[in-house]
């Protein structure tokens, strides 16, 4: 793994936009000891692990995408949706100035279409009323999560759209 500082942010972003771009992660972290005006770029291969104990520990930075189902390792019951435990192990790592990254990232407007909830408002209101009446009202509990998913589609979604959305997050981040 190399900790590099030579390529410019714009050269690296162009590389990420290429059709044959390798797996990557862009991170802005507010961590003690880290400059919060930097964006970290990790480039490397992605693999799956069965358990948290199987995640690599070593000189190379690694970014794990931990699904909710991993809580089963602690003995909790969980509904397993099959989402894998994935980890990007960086072959390359770059610390980039925030201002340079903002200038290099795509800034186009990303359009979201077909927006809506999976459960219509009236049906959701009925579910909430039933939970209040039958569960909370009968002393079965006081806190319930009633799932409702809001969905949309980005027509022709691609890497440039993902990077434009990341730019919006960076530009709008406060505190």
Q: Please give the pLDDT value at position 138.
A: 86
Q: Please give the pLDDT value at position 175.
A: 61
Residue 69 tokens, joined: 């189902």
Q: Please give the pLDDT value at position 26.
A: 98
Mean pLDDT split into 10-residue runs, the chain, 175 residues = 72 97 94 84 97 92 94 90 95 95 98 96 96 89 89 96 98 82
Question: Would you kindly state where each structural domain of the chain is located, as residue ranges?
Answer: 2-107+157-172, 112-153
Half-sphere exposure of 26 (CA within 13 A, CB side): 22
Q: What is the CA radius of gyration of the chain?
A: 21
Specify whether the CB–CB gap between 165 and 158 falls below 8 A: no
Burial label for 44, CB within 10 Å (0-12, 13-18, 19+), is buried
Specify whether the CB–CB gap between 115 and 150 falls below 8 A: yes
């Amino acid at each position: 793994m190399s900790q590099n500082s030579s390529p410019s942010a714009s050269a690296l972003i162009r590389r990420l936009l290429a059709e044959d771009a390798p797996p990557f992660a862009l991170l802005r972290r507010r961590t003690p000891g880290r400059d919060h005006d930097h964006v970290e770029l990790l480039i490397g291969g992605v693999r799956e692990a069965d358990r948290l104990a199987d995640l690599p520990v070593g000189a190379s930075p690694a970014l794990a995408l931990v699904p909710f189902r991993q809580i089963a390792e602690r003995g909790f019951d969980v509904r397993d949706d099959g989402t894998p435990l994935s980890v990007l192990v960086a072959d390359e790592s770059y610390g980039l100035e925030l201002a340079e990254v903002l200038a290099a990232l795509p800034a186009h407007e990303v359009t979201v279409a077909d927006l809506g909830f999976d459960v219509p408002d009236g049906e959701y209101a009925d579910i909430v009323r039933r939970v209040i009446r039958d569960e909370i009202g009968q002393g079965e509990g006081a806190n319930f999560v009633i799932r409702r998913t809001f969905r949309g589609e980005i027509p022709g979604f691609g890497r440039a759209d993902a990077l434009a959305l990341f730019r919006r997050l960076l530009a709008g981040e406060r505190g």
